[in-house]
Amino acid sequence: MNKYTKIGLTALAGSLVAGSVSAAEMSASGSATMTFTGGDEKSNHGNGWVMEDSVTFSASGDVNDIGVTYSVELDGDAKATAGTGGVDSYSLTFDLGDAGTLVFGGHGTGGFLDGNDDVMPTASEEPWDVITGADTSRTNGYAGDNAFKYTYAHESGLNLNLYYVNASDAGTDVSYSDYGVTYTGMDGLTVGYGEGEVEVTTGTKANESTMFAKYAIGAVTVGIQTAETDNESSSDIESTGIGISYAVNDDLTISYGSNTREKVGSKDQEAVAIGASYTMGSMGIAVSMHSVDNVNNSASDDREGYQMILTFAF
Over residues 45-67, the mean pLDDT reads 91
Strand, helix or coil for residue 254:
strand
Q: What is the pLDDT of residue 84?
A: 61
Say whether pLDDT at 80 is over 80: no
Which pTM was predicted?
0.88
Q: What is the pLDDT of residue 85?
A: 65
Q: What is the pLDDT of residue 52?
A: 92
pLDDT in tens, 275-294: 999 999 999 999 999 999 99
% pLDDT > 90, the chain: 79
pLDDT in tens, 250-274: 999 999 999 999 999 999 999 999 9
Average pLDDT of the chain is: 90
Q: Beta strands 176-183 and 147-153: pairing type?
A: unpaired
Per domain, the residue ranges of the chain are 25-32+53-248
Locate all alpha helices (DSSP H) within the chain, ordered by sequence. 3-20, 112-115
- Residues paired with residue 94 on neighbouring β-strands, in sequence order: 68, 102
Q: What is the pLDDT of residue 10?
A: 42
Q: How many residues does the chain have?
A: 314
Confidence of residue 27 (pLDDT cuts 50, 70, 90): very high
- The CA distance from 142 to 114, in Å, is 7
217, burial (CB in 10 Å: exposed 0-12, middle 13-18, buried 19+): exposed
Over residues 226-239, the mean pLDDT reads 94
Strands (E), the chain: 25-38, 49-63, 66-75, 87-95, 101-107, 147-153, 158-165, 176-183, 189-198, 206-217, 220-231, 237-247, 252-263, 269-280, 283-293, 303-313
- What letter would DSSP give residue 116? T
Q: Beta strands 206-217 and 237-247: pairing type?
A: unpaired
HSE on the CB side for 39, CA within 13 Å? 16
Q: What is the pLDDT of residue 6?
A: 41
pLDDT in tens, 172-210: 889 999 999 999 999 999 999 999 999 998 889 999 999
Over residues 42-61, the mean pLDDT reads 90
Strands (E), 202-302: 206-217, 220-231, 237-247, 252-263, 269-280, 283-293
CATH of the domain spanning 25-32+53-248, picked from 2.40.160.10, 2.40.160.20, 3.40.50.10440, 2.30.30.90: 2.40.160.10
Q: What is the pLDDT of residue 196?
A: 97
% pLDDT > 70, the chain: 90
- The CA distance from 35 to 1, in Å, is 68
pLDDT in tens, 135-165: 999 999 999 999 999 999 999 999 999 999 9
Q: What is the pLDDT of residue 149?
A: 98
